[in-house]
Amino acid sequence: MGAGAISEPKSRYQAFLPARDSMLATLRYHRRSSAVERQVPHVNESLRFADMLHITGLLHVTGWYTSPVLASGTPISPQDMRQEPLVNERSECGGIRIRSSSILTHSGRKLAGYFSAWAHRERVHIMTRTTFEFSRDSEIPEVNKIETSAPIRWLSLGWNDLAHNPGPSLAYGFLVTAMGWVILLFTSSRPALFAAGVSGFLLVAPLIQAGLHELSRRRAAREPVSFESSLEGWNKNRQQLFSFGLVLALFAFAWAGISDVLFDEFFAGGMPETTGTLYQTIFAWDYPGFRMVYVLVGAVLALSVFMISAASVPMILDRSAGCLAAMTTSARAVSVNLTPMLIWALLIATLVAVGFASLSLGLIFIFPWLGHAAWHAYKDLIS
């Protein structure tokens, strides 16, 4: 082994960094893939993800790769390894903790259970094992400060996504419109149920938009876009997405109960007769106290749901975040950007009101538009 090979450990150590970066890039790619084990063509051919285990909410992804040092022909000796910080190396990138351990041996001794590469010229056997660990609820990303006019830009970007993917996007619009018709059909003559149904729809709507977020992500990543591919958004991090859905359902049931209590309290003698459309009846009732209390309580619940859901679903899908971490980050994003986010909430409420006022026909366009816009809101809000 030449002296020059031992005198430049730092440069040889730097040669390992691209492989580590490749592992990070592959991890991000793999989290978007439905395959458990995949040969990734755009990275070193010997790089594979061998295992993905969900254990107590912690995701362990272990990969083995051949160091580019071998490909470059730079000789390495065990003495060099002891001089370089490669054994049990720990670092952090984007909230992902990386633990890397490397072992070199002479004479090609077999190391059972590990993927290894053989440097024929120097007869050096190198084994590198890199483990990525991230806890869904332990890493809370930073939130960005946005401009007051940002919601208008989100709507513009969302409309571009809708125009680019009209077929799959409008399919979600028709689905939601059908849900709106069901609500109107069964509650049009029962104001208490109508108010609870519409409000409950607004509370769980962020969860329904998962497929639209996937469409926006695919367009930005220049990946194939179709209604079938958008369904992958529902398969990503399903456990955490289901947990968030339960949280929204609890809010919806709570509001339904509160709504029923308020109607019983103010109309103990019986509900007023409905005349004309339901909208005309509600605003014609001579119960200003009821309207004030109903709107106030509903606004408090709606604001609470908006805070925890403004960026939660995109974050759960895009970052494999946990339900608690996503809700916490979303609430922080709203509190840090209170003025633009209140404008955003007002725009959402106004557009949804227009959609329902048009017998839900407007939701065919409005719902996917808002779903795409919400993805761009998430990308602006979360670092």
- pLDDT value for 137: 40
- pLDDT value for 376: 96
- pTM of the full structure: 0.60
Q: Which amino acid is at 298?
A: G
Q: Which amino acid is at 363?
A: L
User: Based on the number of CB atoms within 10 Å of its own CB, is 274 exposed (0-12), middle (13-18) or buried (19 or more)?
Assistant: middle
Q: What is the largest CA-CA distance in the chain?
A: 98
Which residue's structure tokens are 């053989």?
A: 118
CA distance 373 to 371: 5
DSSP per residue, 53-111: EEETTEEEEEEE---HHHHHT----HHHHHHTTTTTEEEEETTEEEEEEEEEEETT---
DSSP per residue, 172-196: HHHHHHHHHHHHHHHHTT-HHHHHH
Triad 296, 306, 227: Cα angle to 5°: 135
Closest CA to 149 of 337, 368, 354: 337
- pLDDT value for 287: 63
| Element at 44 (helix H, strand E) | none
- pLDDT value for 263: 75
- pLDDT value for 372: 96
| Mean pLDDT, contiguous 10-residue spans, the chain (383 residues) | 38 44 49 37 30 25 32 37 34 36 36 31 36 45 92 96 92 87 72 66 77 92 87 81 87 81 70 50 60 83 91 89 90 95 94 84 92 96 86
Residue 194 sits at φ, ψ, to 5 deg, of: -60, -50
Strand partners, 143: 382
Parse the chain into domains and list their residue ranges: 3-135, 150-381
Which residue's structure tokens are 């106030």?
A: 296
- pLDDT value for 192: 62
Give residue 188's Cα distance to chain centre.
36
